[in-house]
Amino acid sequence: MKNSGTKALGVAVFGLQAALAVLFFASLGGSPLDAALLAVVGAVLEIVKRVSWREWRAGRAARGLVLGLTLAAVSALAAVGFTYSAIERTVATAGRDTAARSVLTSSLSALDAEAAQLTAKASALPAEWVTSSLRYSSRLGEIAEARGAIVSKLSAAPPASGASYLLALAAALGVDYRRLVLILLVIVAIALELAVYDLTPAAPEGRQGAREAKKVSRADLTLLRLATASPGAPLAGYRRLAARAHVSVWQARQALDRLTDACLIETRNGRHYLPRMADAP
């Protein structure tokens, strides 16, 4: 259950990262055809990145590390680019909404002030000044209608968005909101790429991989004989074994690691030995 949950989480995180990359590349297109082609490019790059990580984590294709890091950088930039442009649009909309709300609020305050003045004047009129009183009453009625319309518009206005809170946070910290947004998005993009790598499983060994493993096993046994000096003595180190077998130090290290995993040798105090039972006469 835990493995299936981790696998599902890995697929979800990869899907999220891939969607951000695809949307970013698609947004660069000047026409629907260009957008579609660029979206395909983004999807292919994400798939290649995942395959590179799987091969690297399986211990094969060392070049997969370079390719994976390169594509991870591209993916991170695409994620930052798309989310940054989306936030910019939201901030612009929030700015227009805030300006419109400010205008409506100012108009409402002006109407309230005018209504208060007219009410005071109407109260001070003599009782026989009917015409002036009617004129004031008519204007107060118009103000009430206009005020009701403004209140309706203010009630129908969308609530403050996350962009508004982001602007308020930037103002409180005394930094430009664009810089704050960029820093946050870079942190999120890096965390997302690390999550994609960490949740990407290693590629399984196919039939060709199994055949190669059998060949390597025979080579490992040959290296084991070369590494054995005498019963009970530590095996030759990586460099000495590499010189004896005419292989690279990395290949010698990998061979000893595989032999350790197969319990053919054991590690004590940082040195490799034959198992204790095998040392006994």
pTM exceeds 0.75 for this model: no
DSSP state of 199: T
Backbone angles phi, psi at 149, to 5 degrees: -65, -40
Domains, the chain, in order of start with CATH, read 1-204 (no CATH), 207-279 (1.10.10.10)
Backbone angles phi, psi at 272, to 5 degrees: -95, 140
Residue 239, token pair as written in the block? 């460099």
Pairwise CA distance, residues 73 & 220, whole Å: 37
Digit-by-digit pLDDT tens for the chain (281 residues) are 456 777 788 888 888 888 988 988 888 888 889 889 989 998 999 999 988 888 787 666 566 778 888 889 999 898 888 888 888 887 777 667 777 777 878 888 888 888 888 788 777 767 667 677 778 778 878 888 888 887 887 776 565 556 667 777 777 888 887 888 888 889 988 988 888 888 887 666 544 444 444 444 566 667 777 677 666 677 777 777 777 777 787 777 777 777 777 767 777 766 777 776 544 43
Instruction: Note whether 252 and 223 are within 8 A (CB).
Output: yes
Pairwise CA distance, residues 278 & 29, whole Å: 67
Give the Å distances, CA to CA, from 221 to 6, 149, 212, 255.
36, 89, 14, 9
Q: Which helix (H) or strand (E) holds 103?
A: helix 63-124
